[in-house]
Amino acid sequence: MYSSLLTFFYLIASVTFIVGLKMLSHPASARKGNMVAAIGMAIAVLGTIFLYEKEGEPLGNYGWIFSGILLGTILGTLSAKRVKMTAMPEMVSLFNGMGGACAALISLVEFDHLLHADPINILAMAMNGGVAALQGFLLIVLLGLIIGSISFAGSVIAWGKLNGSMKDFSFPGQHIFNLLLMAIILGLAGYLILALPANPAYYFYAIFALSILYGLFFVFPIGGADMPVVISLLNSFTGVAAACGGFLYDNKVMLTGGILVGAAGTLLTILMCKAMNRSLANVLIGSFGASAKSTGATQTGGSYKEISLSDTAVLMSYANKVYIVPGYGLAVAQAQHICHELEKLLESKGVEVNYAIHPVAGRMPGHMNVLLAEADVPYDKLREMEQANEEFGTTDVVLILGANDVVNPAAKTDPASPIYGMPILDVELAKHVIVNKRSMKPGYAGIENELFFRPKTSMLFGDAKKVLQDLVAEIKSL
Amino acid sequence: MHMQTVLNWIESNQSIIYIVILMIFVGIEVIGRVPAVLHTPLMSGANAIHGVVIIGAIIVMGQAQPDNYLALALGFLAVVLGTINVVGGFVVTDRMLEMFKKKK
């Protein structure tokens, strides 16, 4: 009775996952979709705790389970509520890593069970299903271990890179090294499953350690700007790892949720790559050679010209059409609100003001939209890249606030540049380009930007928030 | 003989295999036309959904012998991490989407 009720709950939860994901992909229903999936998850989790039974035995250790869930809920809610909007991507990465670690831990415990199981039980298992049953069990446990560990280690590195505490790191021949590492992992796993050696624990823990290592080296060389793609890929890995748990316990909701995310995550990864006009292979492998070459190739430099605050104020208030190109720097300076104020002020003077949003502005696709929405910037003022590029020709002033790589002409002209091939905002089509930056330091991808040295470009140095505040005051006093 | 083993395996696990295949198509189909604006929230929402792995952690925890401290400790850690994944994932997604909603 109880277990059939649980089956029903799992069915409901599986449906909510599909419906929730579907709703999440439409702007109007996205928030509800998230809620729907969350409710389904709650039903599945509570159902498991109270109704799950194996051979008539209900679950035990309730004290441990509830204190674990309580602790996790507190930590999860606090970190999700406290994280700044700008740091959202690394938070997602960290959460993903925890899911991967969870899958790996399940495999570790299940293997430990197998090691310490009564030999008679193992014999019974082998008798019932033949050796194949034991091997199938091992295969699933190993798969969950390998994928979960890679996802965990990779996500932690991605997190470190996004918050700036870790730099890109690669050495010549790294992707050969990575392939070799993967081959060893698969070889050991294959041997463990097929030959069933007498001391399986050595093999198992070696595979665990090597998988962690692989996760680290998989993400180390990939450029910081490509982290969103990597996180999305690791996200789908974790989905597959969760599905392994579904196999292990013959649990349909884990299987549904896991495979669903695995497939959707893979597609999302590809869509993100497309938004940057690159292939997945290019993101994963392309970074290896580029970092070596680009140091020699970027020999831009020379003179740039500065513009004063009052000149900027005059230029902007007498323009017909102004475009603002917001970047991550704007968000870091928490200048979205004052930026919105500038926009309103200019509009009141009859200037048409719009925002040009590059698909990967910020740290992730859609990140900048979230940040501007937070500052009450109307939705219809945000122009996507294609449309903005068409309109730059008739624009008087483009104000670039803390954006760098998304307006770097090297993406078009310099094949050695790490961002070569990425579509950019063609701000140079406008009459004037004003760039606000703190200093001449290169952007997130660590590359020089020739745009700053072009004749049309004027630099307006200073912290984005401070500069905008002064600019608003200056325009008011005109 | 190996062929037979494979066929037997497929037969005895057919419902699972059907689920896997169908879910792959559903997953791809469902988010097929997502606008770029929603990439981040969608990724975050999907991230929360794979937190369903928590169920495995609960089962492991609930089946551990009360004197097997290794299994208890690892299982406990798995439950905590899995919960953070689920709860944090849904909450952070909601926070992102909240910003969009005001505008609509």
A136, A277: one domain = yes
Cα distances (Å, whole numbers) of residue B2 to A132, A264, B8, B18: 11, 33, 10, 22
Q: Write out chain A residues lying below 8 Å of B101, CB-based.
A: 31
B17, B39: one domain = no
CB contact under 8 A, B86 and A41: yes
pLDDT category at A125 given cuts 50, 70, 90 is: low
Instruction: Judge whether B40 is closer than 8 Å to chain A, CB to CB.
Output: yes
B52, B94: one domain = yes
pLDDT category at A158 given cuts 50, 70, 90 is: very high
Residue numbers of the domain that contains A465: 305-476
pLDDT value, residue A299: 47
In whole angstroms, what is the distance from residue A11 CA to residue A255 CA? 11
Structural domain count, chain B:
2
A53, A127: one domain = no
Which of residues A288 and A267 earns the better pLDDT score?
Answer: A267
B73, B103: one domain = yes
Residue whose pair of structure tokens reads 């050679």 in the numeric block: A289
Q: How many CB pairs under 8 A join A and B?
A: 382
Mean pLDDT value across chain B = 88
In whole angstroms, what is the distance from residue B23 CA to residue B3 CA? 26
Residue numbers of the domain that contains B100: 34-104
| Residue A268 token pair | 């999302």
B102, B81: one domain = yes
In whole angstroms, what is the distance from residue A1 CA to residue A21 CA? 31
In whole angstroms, what is the distance from residue B20 CA to residue A292 CA? 42
Q: Between residues 73 and 102 of chain B, which touch chain A (CB distance below 8 Å)?
A: 74-102
Best of A36, A92, A386 to mutate (most B CBs within 10 Å, chain B): A92
B71, B97: one domain = yes
Which residue among B40, B61, B84 sits closest to A95, beta carbon to beta carbon?
B84
A46, A123: one domain = no
Which residues on neighbouring strands pair with residue A400, listed in sequence order? A325, A435
A102, A48: one domain = no
pLDDT category at A1 given cuts 50, 70, 90 is: low
B18, B50: one domain = no
pLDDT category at A123 given cuts 50, 70, 90 is: low
Active site residue ranges of A: 405
CB contact under 8 A, B43 and A268: yes
Structural domain count, chain A:
3
A107, A254: one domain = yes
Residue whose pair of structure tokens reads 């498991």 in the numeric block: A48
Chain A: closest CA distance from residue B95 (Å): 8
The residue-averaged pLDDT of A254-258 equals 95
* Chain segment A434-471, per-residue pLDDT in tens: 999 887 776 666 677 888 888 889 998 888 888 999 99
* Poorest-pLDDT segment among A253-257, A432-436, B95-99: B95-99
Q: What are phi and psi of A396, to 5 degrees?
A: -85, -50
In whole angstroms, what is the distance from residue A71 CA to residue A94 CA? 17
Tell how strand A57-58 and strand A53-54 pair up: antiparallel
B23, B42: one domain = no
A74, A172: one domain = no
A243, A370: one domain = no
| Residue A414 token pair | 């310099």
B41, B16: one domain = no
Residue A7 has pLDDT above 80, yes or no: yes
* Chain segment B36-59, per-residue pLDDT in tens: 778 888 999 999 999 999 999 999
pLDDT category at A288 given cuts 50, 70, 90 is: very low
* Poorest-pLDDT segment among A36-50, A114-128, A325-339, B82-96: A114-128
B38, B26: one domain = no
Nearest CA in chain A to B92: A80
The residue-averaged pLDDT of A357-370 equals 78
Chain A: closest CA distance from residue B58 (Å): 7
Residue A298 has pLDDT above 50, yes or no: no
Q: What angle do CA A291, A295, A298 make, to 5 degrees?
A: 120
Q: A436, A400 in Cβ contact below 8 A?
A: yes
B82, B102: one domain = yes
In whole angstroms, what is the distance from residue A263 CA to residue A260 CA? 5
* Chain segment B75-98, per-residue pLDDT in tens: 999 999 999 999 999 999 999 888
Single out the residue in A279, A297, A315 at which a domain terminates: A297
Q: A17, B26 in Cβ contact below 8 A?
A: no
**CA-CA-CA-CA dihedral for A102, A103, A106, A112, to nearest 10:** -110
Best of B22, B40, B74 to mutate (most A CBs within 10 Å, chain A): B40
Q: What is the CATH number of the domain that holds A357?
A: 3.40.50.1220
A36, A115: one domain = no
Other CB atoms within 10 Å distance of the CB of residue A230: 25
Which residue among B68, B70, B103 sits closest to A373, beta carbon to beta carbon?
B103
Nearest CA in chain A to B15: A252
A59, A10: one domain = yes
Single out the residue in A82, A117, A150 at which a domain terminates: A82
B51, B82: one domain = yes
In whole angstroms, what is the distance from residue A229 CA to residue A278 CA? 11
pTM of the model: 0.82
Other CB atoms within 10 Å distance of the CB of residue A433: 25
Among A342, A330, A363, A325, residue whose Cα is nearest residue A451: A325
A267, A129: one domain = yes
CB contact under 8 A, B62 and A255: no
CB contact under 8 A, A34 and B64: no
Q: Between residues 42 and 71 of chain B, which touch chain A (CB distance below 8 Å)?
A: 42-64, 66, 68, 70-71
The CB-side HSE value for A210 (13 A sphere, CA atoms) comes to: 20
In whole angstroms, what is the distance from residue A461 CA to residue A441 CA? 11
A236, A118: one domain = yes
A338, A320: one domain = yes
B72, B92: one domain = yes
Q: Write out chain B residues lying below 8 Å of A140, CB-based.
A: none
Which value does ipTM take for this structure?
0.93
CB contact under 8 A, A99 and B66: no
Residue A293 has pLDDT above 70, yes or no: no
Q: Write out chain A residues lying below 8 Å of B46, CB-based.
A: 21, 24, 235-236, 239, 261, 264-265, 268
Which residue among B68, B85, B101 sits closest to A102, beta carbon to beta carbon?
B85
Tell how strand A305-306 and strand A457-461 pair up: parallel
Among A401, A360, A410, A413, residue whose Cα is nearest residue A377: A401
The secondary element (H helix, E strand) that includes residue A324 is strand A321-326
Nearest CA in chain B to A367: B40
CB contact under 8 A, B96 and A88: yes
Instruction: Judge whether B1 is closer than 8 Å to chain A, CB to CB.
Output: no
Q: Write out chain A residues lying below 8 Å of B18, CB-based.
A: none
How many Å is the Cα radius of gyration of chain A? 27
Chain B: closest CA distance from residue A320 (Å): 26
Single out the residue in A50, A82, A114 at which a domain terminates: A82
Q: Write out chain B residues lying below 8 Å of A254, CB-based.
A: 52-53, 55-56
